[in-house]
Amino acid sequence: MKPFDYIKPATVDAALAAWTPGAAYLAGGTNLVDLMKTGAAMPDTLIDVTRLPGLAAIEDLPDGATRIGAMVRNSDLAHDRDFAAAFPMVAEAILAGASGQLRNAATVGGNLLQQTRCSYFQDPHSPCNRREPGAGCAAREGVNSTHAILGWSEGCIATNPSDFCVPLAALDAVVEVQGPNGGRDIPMAAFHRLPGDTPDKPFALEPGELVLAVRLPADARATRANSRYLKVRERTSFAFALVSAAAGLTLDNGRIAEARLALGGVAARPWRVPEAEDMLVGHAPDRDLFDRAAAVLLEGAAPSGDNAYKIELARRTAVKALDMAAAGTPARVPALPASTFGEPAHA
């Protein structure tokens, strides 16, 4: 491992002032430290932000929004009873990710900024445009069965690995950041960038910007009675999604008044298509209707390697998640969160 400096500032302002090109902010370390061990990341300074004041709270704001501090641990968020009741698809997604130990350490801010699990990105001896612009992409001709089917480019076919970010995108979350030039809000839909010609810039952050919090707007609670996250993976725990879906419905007299739908595991960001949601509104929940919406959601999908199977898998996952959401949110998060083998709704 390359030697590095470690500093632990006491305030957000001090953390921002300490940042220089080559430095990295350190939170739970469940991703960054792994990348440092392999040599895929080599910051010269780690700025530990875990003890900065004011970043570890879950707050209800006067406008009805919910603000989650960037240093809230994943486990603490998922097990907060009020939060899980208001945003059950978010709690279910968090509990479908990683392992109990990792969720205890991993933070909200770090989850947003976790790197792709493309194995060539993590191996510094493999060419990777995301790690080193212009180097090439080993995954194009390599092992790529889990890679992207939407939004990919010739330069990079990696996916975003987060479960948490999928319902955040579906619910129109906003990311609060602070940087050398002040603070700003970034809509979740714009926080993760598609690779295009610049796969080395996967996040919409300017140099030195620090994630302070994520806000869920007041109307994101509207789907809480009919809200699910479904994750298809190679084993039922401690595995990244091949495909996942967050689905939320607001039902009024048996008809869909509002729909939220996003896919994970298919692109470099959570995948959401407003037209697919709009076509559900005004209709009663119905399998044929869900099939048509899933087809719109997956328009333009194309294999980037040995992954054509993910197109049909994503379609079925979206339909199943909508079916499960229409059946109702379970009274408590299932023992196997986000699993097709979990308990039925209202169990």
Interface with ligand SF4 (CB under 6 A): 116, 118, 120-121, 128-130, 137-139, 156-158, 199
CA nearest 25: which of 1, 3, 6?
A: 6
CA nearest 230: which of 296, 170, 143, 276?
A: 170
Considering the complex, state which of residue 101 and residue 145 has its C-beta at the smaller distance from ligand SF4. Answer: 145
Considering the complex, state which of residue 137 and residue 205 has its C-beta at the smaller distance from ligand SF4. Answer: 137
Question: Cα–Cα distance between 10 and 14 in angstroms, integer?
Answer: 7
Contact 270, 260 (CB under 8 A): no
Least separation in angstroms between CB 129 and ligand SF4: 4
Considering the complex, state which of residue 137 and residue 165 has its C-beta at the smaller distance from ligand SF4. Answer: 137
Considering the complex, state which of residue 208 and residue 264 has its C-beta at the smaller distance from ligand SF4. Answer: 264
The one-letter code for the residue type at 304 is: S
Least separation in angstroms between CB 204 and ligand SF4: 18
The one-letter code for the residue type at 227 is: S
Contact 173, 216 (CB under 8 A): yes
Considering the complex, state which of residue 87 and residue 120 has its C-beta at the smaller distance from ligand SF4. Answer: 120
Least separation in angstroms between CB 202 and ligand SF4: 9
Least separation in angstroms between CB 144 and ligand SF4: 7
Least separation in angstroms between CB 241 and ligand SF4: 17
Contact 72, 58 (CB under 8 A): yes
Least separation in angstroms between CB 116 and ligand SF4: 5
Contact 346, 329 (CB under 8 A): no
Return the structure tokens found at 151: 């939004």
Positive or negative: CA dihedral 19, 191, 162, 249: positive
The one-letter code for the residue type at 327 is: A
Considering the complex, state which of residue 57 and residue 135 has its C-beta at the smaller distance from ligand SF4. Answer: 135
Question: Cα–Cα distance between 319 and 62 in angstroms, integer?
Answer: 36
Positive or negative: CA dihedral 52, 58, 64, 65: positive
Least separation in angstroms between CB 38 and ligand SF4: 13
Considering the complex, state which of residue 108 and residue 242 has its C-beta at the smaller distance from ligand SF4. Answer: 242
Q: Is 20 exposed, middle or buried (0-12, 13-18, 19+ CB in 10 A)?
A: exposed
